[in-house]
Amino acid sequence: MAMSFFDQFASPSYLGIPLIAIAIALPWVMYPTPSTRWINNRLITIQGWLINRFTNQLMLPLNVGGHKWALLLTSLMIFLITINMLGLLPYTFTPTTQLSLNMGFAVPLWLATVLIGMRNQPTVALGHLLPEGTPIPLIPILIIIETISLFIRPLALGVRLTANLTAGHLLIQLIATAVFVLLPMMPMVAILTATVLFLLTLLEVAVAMIQAYVFVLLLSLYLQENV
């Protein structure tokens, strides 16, 4: 029984062919394509307004050089939110519960911010490894600590997203199983448990959006340090 709870995180396959590529590509089909007309329908107008508001908020602390990342970060935000929200539907697979996928997003983007900093302002980038005014005996230790914290950043990005979504899905499945088990024996307790399940589902919807936003926001903060 305990092993079946984790079956939902297994990558689906059909005739030995992994279907994770379809699960990753499907969200882009769901968004309406903006038309060339001057007046759009309400859905496209709301979609454009939300994207513009998010992009402005994200690019506000960055200088002009960091604005080149606007398209990439905004697309990543929409992609993660869509995948996380679709994963809350029954009988669906959430690709972002796979640590390998999240690390595939986190490591190249983090490495790109570091390389940009080393190319554009190497003195400032290396200066982050040693805070100003550090006592001389503590310099080697602090350099090692800051270097380790620098390389932990992409791991923290991937693990945070994976752990939050995995924990939420497991908790929903556990409480849903408890509802079905308690329903024949204790209906009132089952109803109360179902209420908790409904509130938890609302919380998971918020977590799915917040974790995608935090992932992109931290990347923008790393970029802000290096541009």
Q: Which residue has the higher pLDDT, 43 or 113?
A: 113
Phi and psi at residue 13, to the nearest 5°: -145, 155
Phi and psi of 14, rounded to 5°?
-135, 120
Average pLDDT, stretch 104-122? Answer: 90
Please give the average per-residue pLDDT across 107-123, as a whole number.
90
Do residues 125 and 114 make contact, with C-beta atoms less than 8 angstroms apart? yes
Bridge partners of 14, per DSSP, are 17
**In angstroms, what is the C-alpha Rg of the chain?**
22
Model confidence at 216, in pLDDT bands (50, 70, 90)? very high
> Given pLDDT bands bounded at 50, 70 and 90, which one contains residue 132?
confident
What's the rounded mean pLDDT across residues 92-118? 90
Of residues 22 and 176, which shows the higher confidence score?
Answer: 176
Check residue 164 and give its pLDDT.
92
Q: What mean pLDDT, rounded, does the chain reach?
A: 85
Model confidence at 219, pLDDT cuts 50, 70, 90, reads very high
Position 110: which residue type?
A: W
pLDDT band, very low/low/confident/very high, at 156 (cuts 50, 70, 90): very high
User: Given this model, what pLDDT does residue 1 score?
Assistant: 46
CA angle 186-168-6, nearest 5°? 85
Name which residue leads in pLDDT, 101 or 14: 101
Predicted pLDDT of residue 38: 74
pLDDT in tens, 1-10: 445 666 677 7
Residue among 203, 212, 185, 210 nearest 88 (CA): 203
